[in-house]
Amino acid sequence: MTRTRLAVAAAAALLFAAVPSILSAPARADDQDFALIERGRYVATTADCVACHSLPSGKPYAGGSALQTPFGTLVAPNITPDRGTGIGNWTEEDLRRTLREGIGRGGKRLYPAMPYPAYTRMTDDDIRALWAYLRTLEPVSNAVEANQLPFPFNIRLLMAGWNLLNFEPEPFKPDPQKSAEWNRGAYLVQALGHCGTCHTPKTMLGADDTGRALQGANLQAWYAPSITADKRQGIGGWTADQLVAYLKTGANHQSLASGPMAEEIQNSSSRMTDADLKAIAAYLLDRKPPGTQAQTATVAADDARMRTGGAVYTDTCMACHGGDGKGQTFLFPTLAGSGVVQADDPATLIRLVLDGSRAVATDDRPTGPAMPPLGWRLTDADVAAVVTYIRNSWSNAAPPVSADDVAKMRKTLAQVN
């Protein structure tokens, strides 16, 4: 056996090492196989199915809330085993094809709001386990009209063309040069965790721009920041332990998760095994950061926007985030050196100032502190100035923000809220 083949075998073994091993099960698996069902539950958690397929107040997996896409509204369907309104009359093969090819029962083509471009890399064993788990859910009768897109996007057949251009079913390919842990991390990020669904920029057609994978993307009036090893805009300044702490508890030395990431942590990564979180960190922090970007020129300290921004900061922000932008650990995020703060796209930062946000509360970090909304007392120009100031103080460097950017975000938030 060559060294390469050994490495592949080791990687493949570790892919499944974090969860109970059942994998020699034959196709006619016992549908009450405890280990298989448990594994499926973990797959569902890792894939965060519940996030889209449930309403906050509803039964889990019985159908979700409306997802606003650039093309219109989609609603995640009921995936409980209810025969009338769920997937009670599906087969395991129907689920496999859905995840692998984006084609549901009866040839119904899915929209990629369902992240099948990621799930296509799921292993057979994970899909089988997920199927076994979904069969154990309480059937809930809840009819969901998934496709609420306007014409012509509501024609599902269009997705055949879309898939032709943007999608190729492909299995996960481990990198034999990398460790088993790294490959497990790659599988979690690319397949189950579908991190790119939020963090990868999209093309005009709404497909992942794979050339810029995980470099940050704007969705639902949030900017999901870069999770590459870029030191300024990404998470390259974090250690593996710091990234694991963030994913597990929602807070680390620098940051607190809020917005859609708070939901992800609550439903998914806080419930993942430490070994899997370490694997994710090993993979993400090892990826080569995007090519050296031209160093963004810092806005000069004597710029009028910086002077105004500094005054607003002292008056409004400093009590919590500190004169040095360091904040207070687990309570007020560190602004100095933060990727969200220095992202080219300032959407999240503007939004936080205008609208506030509550950090995720987890069993490990139950505080759940909140940034209060301040949009009611700051003008667009004030917000632009203070955001520009924060983005260009304490060695931070990022393009300035205009009052128009703030006005646009106000308008968007008025629609979202």
Partner 1 sequence: MARKLPRKDVVVIGLGWTGSIIANELCDEGLDVVALERGPWRDTATDFNIGYAPDELRYNARQELMLRPAQTAVTARNNADQTALPMRQYGSFHPGNGVGGAGVHWAGITWRFSPADFRLKSHYTERYGAQSIPEDMTIQDWGLTYEEMEPYYDRFEYLAGVSGKAGNLDGRMQEGGNPFEGARKREYPNPPMMQTFGPTLFAETAAKMGYKPFPIPSSLLSRTYTNPLGVTMGQCTFCGFCTNYGCANYSKASAQTTVLPVLMRKPNFELRTLCEVLKVNLDSTGKKATGVTYVDTSGDEFEQPADLVILCAFMLDNVRLMLLSGIGKPYDVRSGTGVVGRNFCYQMANQVVGFFDPAKYNFNNFIGGGATGMAIDELNNDNFDHGPLGFLGGGSTRCAPIGAEPISKRPTPPGSPTWGSGWKKAMRDSYLSNLSVGCEASSYANRGNFLDLDPTYTDRLGRPLMRITFDFPENDVKMSAYVTKKVAEIVRAMGAQAIDENPRTGPWSVVPYQSTHVVGGTAMGADPSTSVVNPYLQSWDVPNVFTVGANVFPQNSGYNPTGTVGALAYRAADAIRSRYLKSPGPLVQA
Choice between 207 and 320, CB closer to partner 1: 320
Choice between 185 and 259, CB closer to partner 1: 259
Query: Which of positions 331-360 make contact with partner 1 (CB under 8 A)?
Result: 331-332, 356, 358
Instruction: Report the run of H or E that residue 222 belongs to, with start and end.
Output: strand 222-224
Smallest distance, Å, CB 263 to partner 1? 16
Residue 138 in the binding site for partner 1 (CB under 8 A):
no
Distance, in Å, from the CA atom of 207 to the CA atom of 109, rounded to the nearest integer, reads: 16
DSSP-derived 3-state class of residue 250: coil
- Paired with 251 in beta bridges are 256
Smallest distance, Å, CB 235 to partner 1? 22
Closest CA to 290 of 195, 212, 194, 178: 212
Distance, in Å, from the CA atom of 119 to the CA atom of 191, rounded to the nearest integer, reads: 5
Q: With left for phi above 0 and alpha for psi between -120 and 50, is residue 248 left, alpha or beta?
A: alpha
Choice between 107 and 372, CB closer to partner 1: 372
Smallest distance, Å, CB 275 to partner 1? 23
* Chain mean position to CA 139: 28
Residue 377 in the binding site for partner 1 (CB under 8 A):
yes
By CB under 8 A, how many residues form the interface with partner 1?
A: 25
Residue 403 in the binding site for partner 1 (CB under 8 A):
no
Pick the binder of partner 1 from 218, 296, 308, 316 (CB under 8 A).
Answer: 316
Rg (CA), the chain: 22
Choice between 50 and 285, CB closer to partner 1: 50
Binding string, residues 49-78; x marks residues near partner 1 by CB under 8 A? ------------------------------
Distance, in Å, from the CA atom of 254 to the CA atom of 336, rounded to the nearest integer, reads: 9
Residue 302 in the binding site for partner 1 (CB under 8 A):
no
Binding string, residues 357-376; x marks residues near partner 1 by CB under 8 A? -x--x-xxxxxxxxxxxx-x
Handedness of CA 311, 312, 313, 316 (dihedral sign): positive
Closest CA to 208 of 247, 161, 173, 168: 168
DSSP 305-373: HHHHHHHHIIIIIHHHH-TTS--BTTTB---TT-HHHH-SS-HHHHHHHHH-EEBP--SSS----EEPP
Candidate segments 116-124, 186-194, 215-223, 328-336, binder of partner 1 by CB under 8 A: 328-336
Distance, in Å, from the CA atom of 46 to the CA atom of 246, rounded to the nearest integer, reads: 16
* Chain mean position to CA 319: 31
**Residue for token pair 């055949």:** 160
Choice between 108 and 326, CB closer to partner 1: 326
Candidate segments 1-9, 194-202, 231-239, 324-332, binder of partner 1 by CB under 8 A: 324-332
Query: Which of positions 176-195 make contact with partner 1 (CB under 8 A)?
Result: none
Choice between 195 and 360, CB closer to partner 1: 360
Smallest distance, Å, CB 161 to partner 1? 47
Smallest distance, Å, CB 369 to partner 1? 6
Smallest distance, Å, CB 252 to partner 1? 13
Contacts to partner 1 by CB under 8 A: 316, 319-320, 328-332, 356, 358, 361, 363-374, 376-377
